[in-house]
Amino acid sequence: MFIDIPSELEAALTVCSLPPWQLDGSFLAQSTMEEYRTKLTTAPRFDETAATLRHSLSGEGRGYAVLRLGNLAEKLGTGVRLRQLATGFAAEVAVPFSPFPRWPLWKDIGVKVDKDPGKSSGIGYNAFHMDLVNASHPPDYTMLLCVRPDPLGGGPSILSDAHAAVARLSEDCRSLLTESAYHYGTFFDLFGVGEEYKPFSILDDSTPDGGFIRFTAKMLSRSELSRAHVEAARELAEELVRGQVSFMLQPGDFLIVNQRRFLHGREALHTGQETVPVADRRLLLQLFLRAGAGYGSAA
């Protein structure tokens, strides 16, 4: 699931100049996608690399990939040019968009020592979840571009095949997870993700092998649930941990997760984050993708 950039493609991308992106509402404009593709496909082995990326994100047993842009990050820096190239690769998978109108296309995820430790910008264990779990039309893909890992060595990314985890559960447990009994989080000022879904079921029994598995471990302690529904969700959480893979993102690593297949999270950052200057702390950039035609109708 780790994809290295061929040396000849890397050399071409180093001198590739892409224009500023334009948005159509909260989505990357079609004109920008076409312009990026026109320029990028002239680079040797770009189409081959993009095809490998798409293949890694679909099909049984697949659902995530890490595109290794570290050499490009070293040569170009982690500013606008790297983000434009990453956006170009992302557009080969689906349509980039931002569900948060108060943030730009790419959202910063830094480290705040005074934040809830379990949040994405906290310093503690960020348990398995899907992003925007309570939206009726959540992003199909979530993407993280690593600018800086934890300088103290903590915070490996964790991923788990949610459908494989569900398959290991008992029939009674799966039945409970199909009931609309779960809820988590707030819902306001969002674009492109439909309406609030509350309550929701964790499993959609109409699409057993292709739908979202709407799960976040945080709802086990922050939602009012019956004991039976808590236990069923906890069994799923245990199976997710049992099947997890983990790895440390390096500068320039571009993690893409198919939310219809995998759930993601992060181990705790190393102790002592308060001693690290803010400018040196772990920093990721997040981007979301919407698959399929007619994406604008989901707004």
pLDDT digits over 53-87, tens only?
Answer: 999 998 776 899 999 999 999 999 999 999 999 99
Cα 261 from Cα 140, distance rounded (Å): 10
Cα 226 from Cα 275, distance rounded (Å): 42
pLDDT tens, 191-224? 999 999 989 999 986 555 568 999 999 988 777 8
Whole-number pLDDT of residue 16? 96
Sequential DSSP letters for 118-164: TSTTSSS-EEEE-TTTTBSS--SEEEEEEEE--TTS---EEEEEHHH
pTM: 0.94
Distance set, CA 265 to CA 65, 101, 129, 295 (Å): 15, 24, 6, 26
With a cut of 50, say whether residue 141 has pLDDT above it: yes
Sequential DSSP letters for 89-110: HHTTTSEEE-S-TTS-SSEEE-
With a cut of 60, say whether residue 294 has pLDDT above it: no
pLDDT, average across residues 170-184: 95
What domains can be seen in the chain, in order of their start residue?
Answer: 2-292 (3.60.130.10)
What confidence category does residue 273 fall into, taking pLDDT thresholds of 50, 70 and 90? very high
